[in-house]
Structure formats: structure tokens, C-alpha cells
Amino acid sequence: MQIKEIKIFAGVGKNGQPDLVDEITFTMGDVISIVGPTGSGKTTLIDDIALFADCNTPTRRRVLINEAPAPEDFMNDPSQNPVAFITQHTNFLSDLPVNEFLETHADIRKRPDISSVVRETIEFANQLTGEPLNAENGMTELSGGQTRALLIADAVIISNSPVILLDEIENAGINRTKALELLKKYEKIFVFVTHDPRIALSSDFRIVMENGAVTKVLYPHDEELAVAEEIKKIDDLMLHFRRLIRSGERVTGGII
């Protein structure tokens, strides 16, 4: 089934107060951010999407795919599920070497070009993390950032999932600037739960959460887009300093 759009219909927040936006539509190709303080219900909202909620979760929200309830296959057959969810807390249980794990997954997904797809996945993952991973290493030996990078690459390339939910990648040692740049080349629905202004302002729109409920949907306007350019410069500078510190070098002045 080709996904064209996802609609989320309002439910309730933690105190039973209603979501203040009746209907939110994600169209194929959209990049969406979900923002709000800790505990405001951001992860719960993307859980509703991953579960194809049908008034059967604590939020009472309803999710429609192409104007209809999700087919049962989506939940019952992992290979039919269009949603990849990169969670806040991710660990691998398998200690297979990275390349064997990816080959097995590509085989299950019936990809005809297994070795090139695995190579592409590892290259993609290595652009997202500061420390490249070694394909011969066991999955359990990967760092937190490498694990998330590999999961994102796997979701985008091997699973080729049309809908990708990412819960706070900025805290995971992922190069988020690079991630945004790379991900935007793929025609998918990307939903970022984020505290990062750069990700939020690079999105098509952002959903604001408070106390478990959606309070508004904001589309970036001209002034915000101008500020976003300034934020990019500051962020690049911070990334530059972070790189120096990480590689054990001294920070020198005269840049600003």
C-alpha cells in the first residue's frame, strides 16, 4: 500500500483536556517536528502513530492512513508495517556482526541487491556518527550514537520505510545537521521529536505539546526562516568547537 497521508484526530491530554487542534495531516515528503517540555506527551504522540491508534490508547486519538483505518497487516506482519520508530532508548539484543545482521535483514526484506544495500546502509550510518562503525564488530559493541545511526540507516535504506519516527536523536551522538541533510533527499514522512531549534525550524511545521495535549501547530514564517539562518551559523560554530574538544585539541579565538 502506498502511503499518501496520515491524519491524526484530536484526543485528550493528561487531565482529559482536549487536543486543541482537531486534525493534523502529514503528507508524503513532509518533515514534522514535535516540540514541548519534558513530560508533555511528545513520545506518547508518536506512539499513537506507531500503534495506528484508533481511540484505543490513553490519549483517545485516532490515526487514519489515506483516509482509512490502518489495515490489520500493518500491525500483524512486521514486513508490511510502514512505520519505523527510532526510540529514545535503544539497545540491540543480537550480538551478530553488523554486516551479518544487515544481510539477514535485507534478505528478510527480499532486497535483490543484498551486498550493495548493506554497503550503502553502513556508509549512511557512518555519515551520521562521529565515530565510524566497523561492519565486522558485534552489534552489542556499538556505542549509543552508532546504534541509533545504524537503526536510522537501516530504516531508510533496508526497510525503506515510508514513515520514520525519530525520538530525540540530538542527544544520541548523531550529527543532526548531516542527518537532516541526508534524510531530506528521501521522499518519506519524517517525524522528529526534538528540543533542537535547528531541526524544528527546518521542518515543514511543528506540533506543540503541553501536559499531554496538542496545543498548536506552527508553520515557520519569514521572520523565523531568517532566524533559522542565524541559528545555523551559531550551531555550525558550536559543532566546530565540539569537534576540537572531542579530538583533544585546544580551542583558539578569533573565529567570531
Ligand X SMILES: Nc1ncnc2c1ncn2[C@@H]1O[C@H](COP(=O)(O)OP(=O)(O)OP(=O)(O)O)[C@@H](O)[C@H]1O
Sign of torsion over alpha carbons 128, 52, 21, 23: positive
| Shortest distance in whole angstroms from residue 36 CB to ligand X | 6
33 contacts ligand X (rule: CB under 6 A) = no
- Say if CB 62 and CB 9 are below 8 A apart: yes
247 contacts ligand X (rule: CB under 6 A) = no
Which residue, 36 or 162, has its beta carbon nearer to ligand X? Answer: 36
| Shortest distance in whole angstroms from residue 205 CB to Mg ion | 19
The C-alpha atoms of residue 166 and residue 179 are separated, in whole angstroms, by: 11
252 contacts ligand X (rule: CB under 6 A) = no
Map residues 58-97 to x or -, x wherever contact with ligand X holds by CB under 6 A.
Answer: xx--------------------------------------
Considering only residues 33, 43, 121, 202, which one is a binding residue for Mg ion as defined by CB under 5 A? 43
Q: Which residues, in sequence order, are CB contacts of 51 under 8 Å at separation 6+?
A: 57, 63, 75
Q: Which residues, in sequence order, are CB contacts of 236 under 8 Å at separation 6+?
A: 177
**By CB under 6 A, which span of 32-40, 71-79, 108-116, 246-254 interacts with ligand X?**
32-40
214 contacts ligand X (rule: CB under 6 A) = no
Torsion of CA 94, 100, 101, 107, to 10 degrees: -140
